[in-house]
Structures are given as C-alpha cells and as structure tokens.
Amino acid sequence: MVTEEDKIFAKNFRIDDLSDVPAGLPRHRKLKQNRVVSKKDASVDTADAIYSGGYVSSGVDNSVKLENFYEDFKVDVISCTETDMEFDMIGIDAAFANAFRRILIAEVPSMAIEKVLIAYNTSLIVDEVLAHRIGLIPIAADPRLFEYLTENDQPNEKNTIVFKLHVKCPKGQPRLQVLTNELQWLPNGSEFLKETGGSTSTSNSNSKPKTYTSFSCSQDSLPEYAESPITPTYLDILIAKLSPGQEIELEAHAVKGIGKTHAKWSPVGTAWYRMLPEVVLLGEVEDEKAERLVKVCPQNVFDIEDMGNGRKRATVAQPRNCTLCKECIRDHDLVDLVDLRSVKNHFIFKIESTGSLPPDVLFTEAVKILEDKCELVLADLS
Amino acid sequence: MTYPRVTLAGYSIPHPSLECVNVRVQTTGDPAREVLKDACQELMLMNRHVRSVFDKDVSEFKEEQAHLKAEEERKNAEEEELKKQRDLLESMDIESN
C-alpha cells in the first residue's frame, strides 16, 4: 500500500541528495569538458564549452557565472623583461585569450614613420623603397602621450614626431652603412621650408617661415623626453648603404596608428599563446620502453626513475616543455601508454614587444581597448 | 552561449569589405536587447577583473625580482667584505712570519 507519506517522499526525492552519489560530472565527462586530447591522427574534444544547459541531466550547471570567474581566474607571471614577457592565464575562455592576442597585434596603437620628405637621394636605394624601410623602423615613443593625426589636423607637437636623416659618404672613403642611429630627433619640428607660392606674400617676411609642421612648443618640454631624446628602439638597423659621393637628406614624420592599418604600427613583434600541455602516462612504462620514451622526446619531457632491483620507470618530468609533437605516440607499443592533453582554460601567453611600451603595459592597454569596445556597444544599444 | 538566458547566439559578417557584423541573439523569454546589454556589461566587468588581477600579479612579480636582486647584491657585498678581511689577515700573517 502506498501511503501519503511515501508519495510526498517520492515527489521530493532528489538522487543527488544522497551522500554517496558523486556530485558533478563523472570523471571521463569532465575530461571531455576541459581537456583537448591529442591523438595520433588528430585532436579530440576541441569544441569549446557546450551551452549552459548541456549537462542539465547530470545536475551540473554549465552556465558561465561572474562569481565563478572572479574566483577561478588567476594570472602567473613566469618572466617579464623590457622586451619579452611570459605569463599564464588560468580560468579564462579561449575566446578571451584570442581576443587579447588579436588586439595586441592589430589594435594597440604605436608610433611609426608615415611621411618621408626626401630632399636629396643619390643612393642606390630608390626613394619609395627607402621610405618603406624607414616606415618599418620601430620607434621607442609612448603612444599614450600623443594624439591621432586626422585629415583635418595640422601636424603639431601633439601628434607628430620629426626625425632627420642627413648622411653623405665622402669621396675616397669606403662604402658607408646608414644605420638607425643616424636618425636624429628634431624636438622643434620640421626644418624643411614650405613653398608659400605667389609674390603676394612679401608682407609676411618678418614672421617665421612656414615649415611642414606647426610646432607651437618644443617637444623637449615633455617631462619624459627632457633628458633622453626619442630614438628608434634599435640603433643598429641597416637602412641603406652609400658609395663614395652618394648622399641622403630626408625628414621623417612619425604619427600614431594601429596595426590594422599597416603592420608597421603593430607594437608587438608578435604575441601568441598555447594551452598548458598535460602529459599523462596511462600505465607503467618500464625498462626498455622507458629508455626509448625518454630518448624520443625532443623536449626532455620524460625522465627515468630508478625503482630498485636495476629496473627503471619513466616519469613525466617537465610537461610544460611539451610542444605536442606526438613523437612519443608514434610507436605502436607506446601509443596506448601516453596521453597528450591540453588544458582548455589555461593559456601560456608570450608577448614580444618592439620597444614602444613594455609588454605588461601592452597587455593592459589591450584589455582596456576591449573594455572600451564593450562600452561603445552598450552605449549604442541603450 | 553558456549564458543561462540565451538559447542561440551567433554572428556573421556579410562581406569582408563592409564593416558590418550581424549578431543574432535568441533568449528564453527575456527581451533579447536586454540580454545582450547584460552580457556586454558582464564582459566589461570580466575585462576589468582581468586587468586588475594582471596588474597585481605583475607588480608582485616585479617586487619579487627587485627583492631577489637586492638579496644578491647584499650577498655579493658581504662576500667582498669577507674577502677583504681574509686578504688583510693573510698580509698580517706574512708580516709576522
């Protein structure tokens, strides 16, 4: 006989409430959820997170929650110098990591030479090729101190940096190399006079002659550049070679821009990320197999451990070095013993800066840019 | 897509030369515009969080580096002091001999 009590009990019964029923996803499903497994032929389970209701039948809520993100997100800085940086981002989605990478490469602004005013060029390098080369030179100037130069603006001290290059190879001397250390910074703006044209301008003979830029004050007055001049990041880049008698005289104007317009404005040499590799031995790898495994890995991921009695065993010593080259699973007897996985939400980021800003500042700027984009969309939607 | 109120979210770019993105959001009943706004808001908060955690860790890392460097310099200075003392003692020994 089924009593009322039994009916109420059956209605309210939840199997997950029992103490010995495991909570969350079973282990193999969890593996599918947050690990990419690299098999011999291809990678498996590469799909990103399933939608929020994907695991409802297992009683697991897969929706992304802000509080969870606040708790889980971690950053681990491995190394940080003036030019390179390696750090780990844990608990973040691949979409974010990719967004930061793309913004770093294409949308963080920097200064690069845009206009090259060539007064005299008798070198073997053609004008336009010379201008192209000069444009690609990285300049050590903080782009946050400058504004963009739009079509309606005059080039002035807030949006332009002016360099001068005047080199001549004297006769009787050997061939001369023109390096970036010959680029001199002109803090007072352009020195080339603009042609005013027409004879009606005789009344203005007392005023300052017009140049290609209208600097109202010297850029020396900026505190950052009062002591040290603005120079290219590397002073030994070869621009051109001059034979005796050849001369180059030009002025280069640098402006602010983003990598999307032209790669010369990309502030990073490059920026990339990879997922944290996880190498797991699925069984005991002993003696001869262990030695083979250790030898075959080009990154020294595995190591030998003595078990006593002269027997050896392979262990995973440095999984972080693994490049997923899959050499260890080429042999048919090793393929079932090694599992190569990547952790889906742990990214090892590397940023190589070209010198305009240190790499940690570059990353902060990239995140700021993504924030600004969100704000733009929000403002438009409201 | 892992946002609880969303059943479908997608985007498409009709032509690469046009700067235009078509975003489609389908929800479980709430107005789609509101859900999109909330999602953007959360995105912004997540970004701010990323930035603050990153800045904190970088400054901690740099402090550690500075510490380690200071430690090293101190050890080097100590070693040099010891060396000087040793040299002094040796020269005194030679004199007494």
Q: CA-nearest residue of chain B to A76? A: B57
Cα–Cα nearest to A69, from A41, A101, A39, A91: A91
For every residue of A81-146, DSSP letters joined together read -SSEEEEEEES--HHHHHHHHHHHHHTS-EEEEEEEEEEEE-SSS-HHHHHHHHHTS-B---GGGS
Residue A377 has a pLDDT of: 87
Cβ-nearest to B47 among A61, A374, A378: A374
Flag whether residue B47 sits within 8 Å of chain A, measured between CB atoms.
yes
Classify the phi-psi angles of A58: left when phi > 0, otherwise alpha if psi is within -120 to 50, otherwise beta.
alpha
Residues 67-96 of chain B whose Cβ lies under 8 A from any Cβ of chain A? none
Chain A residues with CB under 8 Å of B1 CB are 49, 51-52
For residue A155, pLDDT beyond 50 = yes
| Residues paired with A253 in a beta bridge | A115, A162
**A45-63 tens-digit pLDDT:** 666 656 655 556 655 665 6
Q: CA-nearest residue of chain B to A373? A: B44
Which of A164-178, A209-223, A339-353 has the weakest average pLDDT? A209-223
Can you read off the two tokens belonging to residue A61? 């809520």
| Residues paired with A113 in a beta bridge | A254
Residue A203 has a pLDDT of: 45
CA angle A64, A68, A72 (to 5 degrees): 115
Asked if B53 lies within 8 A of A77 by C-beta distance, the reply is no
Q: What is the mean pLDDT of residues A279-287?
A: 82
The proportion of chain B whose per-residue pLDDT surpasses 70, expressed as a percent, equals: 97
Q: CB-hemisphere CA count at 13 Å for A220?
A: 7
State the helix-helix crossing angle for A359-381 and A94-106, rounded to 10 degrees.
110
Round to whole Å and give the CA distance between A248 and A120: 5
The proportion of chain A whose per-residue pLDDT surpasses 70, expressed as a percent, equals: 87
Report residue B27: phi and psi, to 5°.
Answer: -120, 175
Average pLDDT, chain A: 83
Q: CB-hemisphere CA count at 13 Å for B70?
A: 6
Tell me which amino acid residue A308 is: G
Instruction: Go through the domains of chain A in sequence order and give each one's CATH number.
Output: 30-56+67-108+267-282+337-382 (3.30.1360.10), 110-195+209-265 (2.170.120.12)
Asked if B36 lies within 8 A of A381 by C-beta distance, the reply is yes
Residue A349 has a pLDDT of: 92
| Residues paired with A350 in a beta bridge | A86, A272
Chain B residues with CB under 8 Å of A62 CB are 2
Q: Is the pTM of this model over 0.95?
A: no
Cβ-nearest to B3 among A64, A70, A77: A64
Cα–Cα nearest to A372, from A109, A43, A42, A57: A109
Cβ–Cβ pairs < 8 A, chains A and B: 82
Measured in residues, chain B has a length of 97
Round to whole Å and give the CA distance between A159 and A141: 12
Report residue A125: phi and psi, to 5°.
Answer: -85, 125
Round to whole Å and give the CA distance between B6 and A53: 10
Asked if A69 lies within 8 A of B36 by C-beta distance, the reply is no
**B45-81 tens-digit pLDDT:** 889 989 999 999 999 998 988 898 899 999 999 999 9
Round to whole Å and give the CA distance between B81 and A232: 42
Cα–Cα nearest to A366, from B50, B78, B22: B50
Query: Which of the listed ranges A190-199, A328-337, A360-369, B12-21 does the model predict with the highest average pLDDT?
Result: A360-369
Q: Give the closest-approach CA distance of A69 to chain B in angstroms.
A: 8
Asked if B51 lies within 8 A of A367 by C-beta distance, the reply is yes
ipTM given for this complex:
0.79
Confidence of residue A350 (pLDDT cuts 50, 70, 90): very high
Cβ-nearest to B2 among A64, A70, A375: A64
Can you read off the two tokens belonging to residue A163? 């360099």
Cβ-nearest to A374 among B44, B49, B58: B44
Cβ-nearest to B40 among A61, A76, A374: A374
For every residue of B1-48, DSSP letters joined together read --STTEEEEEEE-S-TTS---EEEEEESSS-HHHHHHHHHHHHHHHHH
Q: Give the closest-approach CA distance of B89 to chain A in angstroms.
A: 43
Q: Give the closest-approach CA distance of B24 to chain A in angstroms.
A: 14
Asked if B57 lies within 8 A of A75 by C-beta distance, the reply is yes
For residue A198, pLDDT beyond 50 = no
Asked if A52 lies within 8 A of B1 by C-beta distance, the reply is yes
